[in-house]
């Protein structure tokens, strides 16, 4: 598997997705610092939300082979500006979480606007889309 950095606001489901990918029991855990797994790097939402911490994400992106931008289907706005993927010299994929919520199509459009060409709709609680994401990351590794 390629080492993948998960980036998104707090509450988007980065840690829940990490648990689902690993086959762990889903439980809420607030990520307080960068969590390194064998091939997943789970970042705190504050790193994406607070301007002064954004530079840290750029540095951590160099340790990953793929950067995954996450937007929940029930979000009111996107944290990611248009064409932000050109700022990273790594493959950038999009992940729409909480697809059972409001508007996964809107979140997918935001990720495309941000520059993501490959987008995975995910429901970590039911497992929908998780295997497809894992297969893609495995194929890339």
Q: What is the count of structural domains for the chain?
A: 1
Q: How confident is the model at residue 102 (pLDDT cuts 50, 70, 90)?
A: confident
List of E strands, the chain: 4-7, 35-36, 40-42, 66-72, 91-97, 119-121
| Mean pLDDT, residues 89-115 taken together | 93
Residues comprising the chain, all counted: 141
Is the model's pLDDT at 84 over the cut of 90? no
Half-sphere exposure of 113 (CA within 13 A, CB side): 13
Is the model's pLDDT at 49 over the cut of 90? no
Q: Which pLDDT score, from 0 to 100, does residue 1 have?
A: 83
Pair 70, 95: CB distance under 8 Å? yes
CATH code at 29?
3.40.50.300
Find all residues with CB under 8 Å of 55, minimum gap 6, and list them: none
**51 phi and psi angles, rounded to 5 deg:** -50, -45
Mean pLDDT of the chain: 87
Write the burial class of residue 120 (CB in 10 Å: 0-12 exposed, 13-18 middle, 19+ buried). Answer: buried
Of 32-36, 64-68, 100-104, where does mean pLDDT reach its minimum? 32-36
pLDDT tens by residue, 51-67? 877 777 777 788 899 99
Cα(32)–Cα(63) distance, rounded to whole angstroms? 19
Q: Which pLDDT score, from 0 to 100, does residue 32 have?
A: 66
Is the model's pLDDT at 141 over the cut of 60? no
Q: Which pLDDT score, from 0 to 100, does residue 45 have?
A: 80
Per the model's pLDDT, the better-predicted residue between 124 and 37 turns out to be 124
Q: Which pLDDT score, from 0 to 100, does residue 88 have?
A: 81
Q: Which pLDDT score, from 0 to 100, does residue 86 have?
A: 81
Is the model's pLDDT at 34 over the cut of 80? no
Domain ranges, residue 101? 4-140
């Amino acid at each position: 598997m390629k080492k993948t950095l998960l980036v998104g606001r707090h509450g988007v489901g980065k840690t829940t997705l990490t648990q689902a990918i690993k086959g762990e029991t889903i439980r809420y855990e607030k990520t307080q610092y960068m969590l390194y797994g064998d091939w997943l790097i789970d970042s705190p939402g504050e790193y994406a939300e607070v301007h002064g911490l954004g530079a840290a994400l750029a540095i951590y992106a160099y340790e990953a082979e793929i950067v995954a931008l996450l937007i929940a289907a029930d979000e009111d706005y996107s944290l990611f500006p248009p064409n932000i993927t050109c700022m990273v010299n790594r493959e950038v994929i999009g992940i729409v979480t909480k697809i059972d919520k409001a508007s996964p199509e809107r979140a997918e459009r935001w990720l495309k606007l941000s520059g993501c060409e490959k987008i995975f709709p995910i429901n970590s609680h039911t497992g929908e889309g998780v295997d497809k994401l894992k297969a893609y990351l495995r194929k890339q590794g």
